[in-house]
Amino acid sequence: MTRGFLQELVNILLDYISKSSQRSSKVLDFHHPHQLREGMEGFSLDLPDQPETLEQILVDCRDTLKYGVRTGHPRFFNQLSSGLDVIGVAGEWLTSTANTNMFTYEVSPVFILMEDFLLRKMQSIVGWSDDEGDGIFCPGGTISNLYSILVARFYFYPEVKSRGMGVLPQLALFTSEHSHYSVKKSAAVLGMGSENVVVVKCDERGKMIPAELESAIVAAEEKGLVPFYVNVTAGTTVYGAFDPLNAIADICQRHTLWMHVDAAWGGGLLMSERHRMKLQGIERAWSVTWNPHKMMGVPLQCSAILVKKRGLLQGCNELGAEYLFQTDKPYDVSYDTGDKSIQCGRHVDVFKLWLMWKAKGSEGFGSQVNKCLENAEYLYDQLQRRTDFELVFKNKPEHSNVCFWYIPPSLRDLPPGHDRDIRLHKVAPRIKGRMMEKGTVLIGYQPFGAKVNFFRCVFSNPATQQEDIDFLLDEITRMGDDL
């Protein structure tokens, strides 16, 4: 029965995978929340008192995929994590079959060593020497960024662990206006207050301005705050901008501040010989966030926090629960790394990355990154050529983000200004709504500062081809030319 059931399940997965790669199939089959709640034909969210048959379970599995979004479709441009890597899927499946926990070497000997191995590999790619570097895999970049602040605070104020925030001065953190919201969220979670995160100005291209950082540090000190931490973004979420790492590292050095590099999105570029110079200076970071589940196409979730100074993670988080972390075990208990974590049970996120690395090699990841950035450049070139589109910033993309407006014919002759902005602001959401109904392509939009709603196209799926980019632009035109 088990064999028959799993074989049927494999057929469902194979069918899904094959449809996801067909351009003729929909990216999504959208239904409103009330429709899904009321139940679709043969698919109901209700939980029964009596068990369902295995046949019905298979239908439930198939329909769960059917009404979801095919993030592996070559025309899904909506989020930073996309693609459907079959080796990665195999890794995730094996992980859940092994169903073990990352607490200790005792219960996860192979995965603990793989994690150790991959963390060292990632640290050496960042540029740290063999005798420095520590880290752990986390449930996403948000949590990795949270760790960076937690560890930085512990480094300067180890007493915080037992005595709490009451014994600390009022601390200040610094991050750019284009940085990810997880920095503010972490400051709130850690009891430091989101208002004590000082937001530093960026240039037109979305990069932090070092002189602005320096004056923000001085201003915070004058107000009686104690600066201790700077978050620097390598690959911002919306613009794909890289902050000037070396210039900011100099400032951090001068003021003895913890320098964290959030390379959740940009870290993947380290795998490419062609693009890794955009992260020059990352080796000077005290900690780094890197999400293989974004640019490297590893199935969700897979994110690492790397910390340059060894032992800090353990010192900061260890509590030595005696039912897990006995010190008299019959093996080298330095491999019981679970107490570095703020979690107890921890999912095995490392195996799929390890398996994909085996399957592609470092070079395979590099060419995948190059391909995505070539797609971004192609889109940029097309946009420059067309009069019905406008770029949000003029420079060539540094990452795979391309931000643009579609200008419908009715707006094309309007002079720039408030009236045009008000109308343009409504265009992207209207097109997105039509896109979701039609299901042929999916792309995200947002406003930013004074800029009204614009599209952001991101490439992280190596299955995307130039024809998909042409299709995207033509489809936007078809859906928007009557607005």
Ligand X SMILES: *Cc1c(COP(=O)(O)O)cnc(C)c1O
Which spans of this chain sit near ligand X (rule: CB under 6 A)?
80, 140-142, 145, 180, 182, 233, 236-237, 262, 264-265, 291, 303
Spatial strand order in the sheet of 401-406:
76-77, 442-448, 451-458, 401-406, 389-391
Among 262, 258, 311, which residue's Cα sits nearest to residue 286? Answer: 258
Minimum distance, C-beta of residue 154 to ligand X, in the bound complex (Å)? 21
Q: Name the residue nearer to ligand X (CB basis): 54 or 300.
A: 300
Whole-number Å distance between alpha carbons of 292 and 112 = 18
Minimum distance, C-beta of residue 336 to ligand X, in the bound complex (Å)? 26
Minimum distance, C-beta of residue 303 to ligand X, in the bound complex (Å)? 5
Minimum distance, C-beta of residue 259 to ligand X, in the bound complex (Å)? 15
Residue linked to tokens 């969700």? 300
Q: Name the residue nearer to ligand X (CB basis): 91 or 480.
A: 91
Whole-number Å distance between alpha carbons of 404 and 393 = 8
Minimum distance, C-beta of residue 349 to ligand X, in the bound complex (Å)? 11
| Residue 411 CB contacts under 8 Å (≥ 6 apart), including other chains | 420, 423, 424, 427
**Would strands 303-307 and 451-458 be described as parallel, antiparallel, or unpaired?**
unpaired
Kindly report the backbone phi and psi dihedral angles of residue 352, in degrees, each rounded to the nearest multiple of 5, phi listed first: -65, -35
Instruction: Yes or no: say if 198 and 230 are a contact pair by the CB < 8 Å rule.
Output: no
Q: Name the residue nearer to ligand X (CB basis): 234 or 431.
A: 234
The residue with its CB nearest to ligand X is 141
Q: Name the residue nearer to ligand X (CB basis): 153 or 180.
A: 180
Minimum distance, C-beta of residue 262 to ligand X, in the bound complex (Å)? 5
Tell me how crowded residue 312 is: count the other CB atoms within 10 A of its CB: 20
Instruction: Yes or no: say if 289 and 206 are a contact pair by the CB < 8 Å rule.
Output: no
Whole-number Å distance between alpha carbons of 256 and 258 = 7
Q: Name the residue nearer to ligand X (CB basis): 133 or 140.
A: 140
Q: Name the residue nearer to ligand X (CB basis): 142 or 272.
A: 142
Q: How many CA atoms lie within 13 A of 218 on its CB side?
A: 8
Q: Name the residue nearer to ligand X (CB basis): 182 or 375.
A: 182
Q: Name the residue nearer to ligand X (CB basis): 153 or 293.
A: 293
SS percent in the chain: helix, strand, coil, step 5: 45, 15, 40
Among 314, 352, 356, which residue's Cα sits nearest to residue 335? Answer: 314
Minimum distance, C-beta of residue 235 to ligand X, in the bound complex (Å)? 6
Whole-number Å distance between alpha carbons of 442 and 36 = 20
Minimum distance, C-beta of residue 81 to ligand X, in the bound complex (Å)? 8
